[in-house]
Amino acid sequence: MILLMVILLILLTLFGLPIYAGIMAAAMLGLYASGIELSAIPIEIYRLANAPVLLAIRFKAAVCWLPILKSNAAPANSWTAGLEKSAGKFNTGISP
C-alpha cells in the first residue's frame, strides 16, 4: 500500500503536481507509514513558522540591501542592471 502511494506521488509530481504539495504529501505519507498521527502536521508547521531563524533571515536581507538603497546604486550582478541600461538611470525613489 505504501509503495503504491509512493509510486503515485512520484507520477503525480512528474506530471505537474506543485512541488510544495508533493513535499507535503511525502511528509504525510512518511508520518502515516511510521505510525505518527497526522495531527502532528499543523503543530510542526506552526513550530517552523515561529522559528527565530526565519526572522533572522528577513533582518539579514534588510540589512544587506540598506547600503544599496542608500547609495542609489544597483549591484552590478542584479536583475536591475538590465533596468539601468533600458531606463538610463536606476532610481529607487529614495532621495539622498
Same domain, 2 and 46: yes
Closest to 75 measured CA to CA, from 85, 65, 62, 61: 65
Please state, as a whole number, how many other Cβ atoms lie within 10 Å of the Cβ of residue 32. Answer: 14
Same domain, 41 and 66: no
Same domain, 31 and 66: no
Residue type, 6: V
Residue 32 lies inside a defined structural domain of this protein: yes
Q: Which pTM was predicted?
A: 0.47
Residue type, 73: A
Residue 71 is part of which domain span? 51-87
Q: Which residue has the higher pLDDT, 55 or 33?
A: 33
Residue 31 lies inside a defined structural domain of this protein: yes
Same domain, 56 and 38: no
75-90: buried (b, 16+ CB within 10 Å) or exposed (e) per residue? eeeeebeeeeeeeeee
How do residues 43-94 score in pLDDT, each as one tens digit?
A: 888 888 787 776 677 677 666 766 666 665 555 555 555 555 555 455 555 5
